[in-house]
Chains A and B, each alone.
Chain A
């Protein structure tokens, strides 16, 4: 009897050790990235965040072009993906018959199964030429007088990265919004319909009810877009300069690390790249924390299981 009890302690402690190990790993990521970027932190301090120059030859490193490119490409992605994802989720939860919703929903989820590097390949050889020849020029003719659509349109640039990201985060956002909408009680829908609301007016009631969860889904998508690497690296042009035009090449934090890490010749260069990784780590940590909090609050009430993996 006593022996069985002792084994129980061992079992609980055993799994507990693995759980603690996981906490240790996340802590170690933060600590290790900080240690490895000390050289850059000591050298540049807070100036790292607001310097626009990235010149490995001269040994000058500033993160601003990457921060700009990361934020802009993610915002472009969200502007396209959020309405699209809301439409998909509403269609699958509120409109489509179950028999149709399941296979269609699975197909949308398959978009998330395509690896980043495959999106990048498709972006280079299919999307970029399409933008160069068909999508870009009309915009340039109509809006070329604004700084945002100034040519030339090469097909490789901020807008291409944003579009690819939009496709990549759509399955993630729509999956979470689907869970959130499914967690809104049916009585809300019945009440709206009973008051004579049309189908769309009823859907609006449901959307307002799920608003915090939907916000969480969007922020979750943002977190994914900020850290997405390969696809963006392959189509965004990788030029560390801030340019207002969406058609111009840009650079993101993640793509700078992917592209330059193995080429970093000096310790300071490598340390600056690690500091970029540290920034990305903290930003995605905070962004995901906020998103989880918002999504949990909505789906937990009804016991829905978040599919937001």
Chain B
């Protein structure tokens, strides 16, 4: 009897230790997040002011800002959205509404594969198909690279959102004599529109933090530019270049630029989360 009681005690202790351990793991991860975010806020806020946001970079010691990088990021994100969103949504519609059997399975596998391809490899690919033939780095190449990263994310969320639309809606429309294209484009897609839009916004937030695929496509620039045929600056590449530079002033600017970028990305993530609390 005594021995059984001791074994039971032992089992309960192990259980208590392990379940506490899992809580410790979780709070460690949350702690790391808070530490990183507070470092960004504390180190970034010092060099942040209006001129920093709108000025072009200047030589070390003369201040300068990230205005051209902000503009460049906007151009790159606009271009990649223009290419990536329609393509991604079309593939999502195909996967949910049109494709069946093996081919759809194959496409779904390809979408997953594309998600898993390291973004640096995407950069090398775009270098080979855009930069080599045109013989120069360009905003266009950067936009294509970001679009390729965007497509699988958008098509995945589009497919999931369309699948949430009840079948009775499709059947109702078909029963009224509507052809399939009208059912999908006129009934199913509008019913899932807010979900698809959410997925699109999250995809934009995701690629806004990409650096690797831009290094040898958009390349970077120290001037204001909106020319798609020329190299263009971006927030992320500027952060990278400043971070690995030997100058304290540029390090401070890298932190401030990071604060701007993180405010944007976290803002989008949190707003989307609050607006879609019921769905996700």
Interface residues of A (CB under 8 A from B): 4-5, 7-8, 10-12, 14-16, 18-23, 25-26, 28-29, 32-33, 35-36, 83-88, 90-92, 94-96, 104, 106-108, 110-111, 113-122, 124-126, 167, 170-171, 174, 198-201, 203, 220, 223-224, 226-230, 234, 254, 257-258, 261-262, 273-274, 277, 280-281, 284-285, 287-289, 292, 305, 309
Contact = CB atoms under 8 A, between A and B. Distances in A.
B75 to A, nearest CB: 18
A22 B110 contact: yes
Nearest to A112: B206
Interface in B1-50: 11-12, 14-15, 18-19, 21-26, 28-30, 32-33, 36, 39-40, 43
B265 interface: yes
Nearest to A12: B98
Nearest to A295: B112
Q: Enumerate the 3 nearest inter-chain pairs by beta-carbon distance, A residue then B residue, closest first.
A: A227-B118, A115-B209, A87-B25
Given A23-B107, A83-B25, A284-B118, A125 B251 contact: yes
B124 A87 contact: no
Contact of B258 (A111, A121, A280): A121
Contact of B33 (A108, A229, A254, A284): A108
A293 to B, nearest CB: 10
Given A32-B128, A116-B209, A110 B22 contact: no
A287 B127 CA distance: 25
Given A25-B114, A92-B26, A234-B243, A116 B212 contact: yes
B32 A95 contact: no
Given A115-B210, A116-B211, A305-B160, A227 B117 contact: yes
B119 A229 contact: yes
B25 A88 contact: yes
Given A113-B209, A118-B36, A121-B243, 14 more contacts: A11-B185, A12-B98, A19-B95, A25-B148, A88-B26, A104-B26, A116-B212, A121-B239, A227-B119, A230-B240, A277-B120, A280-B118, A280-B120, A288-B116
Contacts of B99: 16, 19
B234 to A, nearest CB: 10
B114 A115 contact: no
Contacts of A83: 25
The size class of the interface chain B forms with chain A is: 35 or more
B71 interface: no
Contacts of B153: 309
A95 B125 contact: no
B243 A120 contact: yes
B211 A117 contact: yes
Nearest to A6: B179
Interface string B165-201: 0000000000000011110110000000000000000
Contacts of A87: 21-22, 24-26
B181 A230 contact: no
Nearest to B116: A288
Given A87-B21, A95-B19, A229-B120, A114 B36 contact: yes
Contacts of B128: 32-33, 35-36, 274
Contacts of B24: 87
A281 to B, nearest CB: 5
A113 B26 contact: no
B124 A261 contact: yes
Contacts of A21: 87
Contact of A254 (B152, B212, B236, B243): B212
Residue in B18, B110, B121 whose Cβ sees the most chain A Cβ within 10 Å: B121
A274 B120 CA distance: 11
B95 A108 contact: no
Contacts of B11: 198, 201
B146 interface: no
Given A22-B111, A25-B148, A117 B239 contact: yes
B90 A281 contact: no
B247 interface: no
B90 A230 contact: no
A206 B122 CA distance: 38
A213 to B, nearest CB: 15
B56 interface: no
A25 to B, nearest CB: 7
Contacts of A199: 15, 19
B26 A91 contact: yes
Given A113-B266, A305-B160, A91 B212 contact: no
Contact of B180 (A12, A120, A262, A309): A12
A117 B162 CA distance: 34
Given A113-B205, A198-B15, A230 B179 contact: no
Interface string B39-72: 1100100000000000000000000000000000
B271 interface: no
Contacts of B265: 113-115
B94 A19 contact: yes
Contacts of A108: 26, 29-30, 33
